[in-house]
Structure 1
Amino acid sequence: MEARPAIMVTNDDGINAPGLRALVHVLVATNRYEVRVCAPDSEKSAVSHGITWRHPIPAKQVEIEGAKAFAVSGTPADCASLGISDALFPSIPDLVLSGINMGSNCGYHIVYSGTVAGAREAFFNGIPSISISYDWVGGTSTVEDYTLAAEACLPLISAVLAEIKNQSYPRRCFLNIDVPTNVRNHKGYKLTTQGKSIFRMGWKQVTSSTQGKMLSTMTMDVDSSESPEMNSSAVPQEQLLFRREVIGHQISEDDIDVRSLKEGYISVTPLGAVSPAEVECHTFFNDWLPGVLECTSSAL
């Protein structure tokens, strides 16, 4: 009997997050994959590609039906790295899935995303990978939407594994998938490119220790009523407290990924390890660099 493909699942919302649990449940229910999980033991949203270097990280086996799972006290990149090694599981997985994230990851938000970092870390190590995010909207989305999102991505996952088996899958990129809010009525898959959309962030001085509830990689619930006010006597007089706040969302005409997502498509974006500078920037510095030494010498 032919061995089932091994899929390793990670995320940045934590091993108990409903998005990860829905994805694992859907994968297990197909009975076509060996499912493994190596995910953070707590939320690690917006930590980007940070890694733990100077000290060991603990991993604890947890119960997830149909899968062998470990909760790790580390970042998403740590979890992906450990999960694809032979230190935790007996073999290297065929595919790594990171998600399903609570909130979309398009445009420049990809840089901040721990979800995308989990897939990128696998890519760094030569393992095909996919990051998956759901465009959660408070008051509209429900936990059941994660299951619908996982089911909507199953054909993509199956097709990627078929290409891997045929040794025809491209190894110079990984995929970032964003599922629209109204996943039940999505318009299908659309190949997109990474845009430049970003939430503009400001800072506000506060008098409480409120952290706010993370709703996605870059969108936070900043209702301070969720947490009690800090006793002012507990804050040293010389210490000031500041917190981030969203002050706007910038989207340009060429932001194909986020626009396709908002139009109801499942956005499929191939990503590389890094984003190269635009052509005009390279042209500028190509002309500028040879004159740097000359300008510096003349100024002395």
Structure 2
Amino acid sequence: MEATIVDSDSRPTIMITNDDGIDAPGIRALVRVLVSTKLYNVQVCAPDSEKSAVSQSITWRHPISAKRVDIEGTTSYAVSGTPADCTSLGISGTLFPSKPDLVVSGINMGSNCGYHVVYSGTVAGAREAFFNGIPSISLSYDWVGGRSNINDYTLAAEACLPIISAMLADVKAQTFPQNCFLNIDFPTDIAKHRGYKLTKQGRCMYKLGWRRVTSDSPGGKMLSTMTMEPASSVECNTSNESELFTRQVISPPVDDEDTDYKYLREGYITVTPLAALSRAEIDCENILEAWLLGVVAPPSASAL
């Protein structure tokens, strides 16, 4: 009976995933807001635990599990794999009866700008849909400890509704660009955001180093979200006399160019089109074209 209701539902289907895990407040706020509109058929296929900073990794050598989870107004599964696994399984037609019209990944705890999108499992969840021809969006909130609170996720989800609605309409009309997906970041003070800004991906990232630690020394848990929340203890077994190292921040990102990170810091909701992988800058292409000709040029007669 349930399958019949879903099949006859004329509303567009949105599949939600993330990298913070199916119980994270960001994804739960996003789902609540989407369900409350009653405009969408909402499916959830998200990791059963935190999978931050796993990038585009997939599970290859062993099966993954999918367990039904009760989230009101949705059909939801917690999956043992990565965000890319979740998206791939969710859009395959194997877990759900049909492919979604749109995949939304997030809302992530922490921003994903600049080069950080390479590490992000949140962005990977949307990118995996893009790989498979499904329109997609990744959502991240610039969480700052001491300033942010759980209600900010709801505000971010509500702020994204116009974009989701317009994107679905354009997808239905076949007018939305097929060679990109959208990466959206919400500023820390989302309640007083300065509007929406189309931006380009910058080059900023945290400069990270390493420091040696012991099993009982304070360590820093570096989240892929780059929220830099208070440190937690390192829990490792050193009975085998292994040396232990933990990441540490050497310097925060800096980006003065007109890019996603700059405008996010200025209070805008940044909307950044992304492709599968960024191409090299045009000046690199020009230099390397001449360089390659010299590398592979046949030797001259005088050199023989």
TM-score (norm 2): 0.91
1:88-121 deviations in Å (ceiling 9; x for gaps): 0000000000000000000000100000000000
Residues 281, 3 of structure 1: alpha-carbon distance in 2 compared, 3 angstrom cutoff: same
Instruction: Quote how far apart the aligned CAs of 1:296 are.
Output: 9.6
Partner of residue 75 from structure 1, selected from 79, 82, 87 = 82
Instruction: Quote how far apart the aligned CAs of 1:251 are.
Output: 1.9
Written as runs of structure 1 = structure 2, the 5 A alignment for 1:196-207 is 196-207=203-214
Partner of residue 11 from structure 2, selected from 4, 22, 31 = 4
> Is residue 287 from structure 1 mapped to residue 290 from structure 2 by the alignment?
yes
Which residue does the alignment assign to 2:233?
227
Instruction: Quote how far apart the aligned CAs of 1:217 are.
Output: 2.4
Instruction: Quote how far apart the aligned CAs of 1:228 are.
Output: 6.8
Please give the alpha-carbon distance, in whole angstroms, between the structure 2 residues aligned to 1:255 and 1:78. Answer: 34
Instruction: Quote how far apart the aligned CAs of 1:235 are.
Output: 3.0
Residues 293, 246 of structure 1: alpha-carbon distance in 2 compared, 3 angstrom cutoff: same
Which residue does the alignment assign to 1:236?
240
> Is residue 146 from structure 1 mapped to residue 150 from structure 2 by the alignment?
no
Q: Structure 2: which 5+ residue stretches go unaligned?
A: 1-7
Partner secondary structure for residue 285 of structure 2: helix
AA of the residue aligned to 1:269? T
Preserved CA contact (<8 Å) 1:174 1:271: yes
Q: Structure 1: which 5+ residue stretches go unaligned?
A: none
Please give the alpha-carbon distance, in whole angstroms, between the structure 2 residues aligned to 1:211 and 1:156. Answer: 40
AA of the residue aligned to 2:260? D
Which residue does the alignment assign to 2:4?
none
The answer to which of 59-68 and 289-298 deviates more is 289-298
Which residue does the alignment assign to 1:256?
259
Which residue does the alignment assign to 1:30?
37
Instruction: Quote how far apart the aligned CAs of 1:249 are.
Output: 1.9
Which residue does the alignment assign to 1:100?
107
Preserved CA contact (<8 Å) 2:52 2:223: no
1:143-191 deviations in Å (ceiling 9; x for gaps): 0100000001111111111111212111110000000000001111000
Preserved CA contact (<8 Å) 1:200 1:247: yes
AA of the residue aligned to 2:262? R
Please give the alpha-carbon distance, in whole angstroms, between the structure 2 residues aligned to 1:127 and 1:175. Answer: 12
Residues 222, 291 of structure 1: alpha-carbon distance in 2 compared, 3 angstrom cutoff: farther
AA of the residue aligned to 1:263? E
1:249-283 deviations in Å (ceiling 9; x for gaps): 23232251011111111000001111000011111
Instruction: Quote how far apart the aligned CAs of 1:218 are.
Output: 3.2
1:34-85 deviations in Å (ceiling 9; x for gaps): 0000000000001100011111101000111111000000000000000111
1:1-48 deviations in Å (ceiling 9; x for gaps): 870000000000000000000000000000010000000000000110
Preserved CA contact (<8 Å) 2:55 2:118: yes
Partner secondary structure for residue 250 of structure 1: coil
Please give the alpha-carbon distance, in whole angstroms, between the structure 2 residues aligned to 1:262 and 1:147. Answer: 20
Residues 105, 255 of structure 1: alpha-carbon distance in 2 compared, 3 angstrom cutoff: farther
Residues 43, 2 of structure 1: alpha-carbon distance in 2 compared, 3 angstrom cutoff: closer
Residues 229, 62 of structure 1: alpha-carbon distance in 2 compared, 3 angstrom cutoff: closer
Residues 229, 59 of structure 1: alpha-carbon distance in 2 compared, 3 angstrom cutoff: closer
TM-score (norm 1): 0.92
Which residue does the alignment assign to 1:184?
191
Residues 222, 246 of structure 1: alpha-carbon distance in 2 compared, 3 angstrom cutoff: farther
Please give the alpha-carbon distance, in whole angstroms, between the structure 2 residues aligned to 1:287 and 1:124. Answer: 32
* Aligned Cα root-mean-square deviation (Å): 2.2
Residues 263, 123 of structure 1: alpha-carbon distance in 2 compared, 3 angstrom cutoff: same
1:219-258 deviations in Å (ceiling 9; x for gaps): 44462xx337767xx4323x11000001112323225101
Identity %, equivalent residues? 65
Figure out how many residues of one structure are paired with residues of the other and give that number: 295
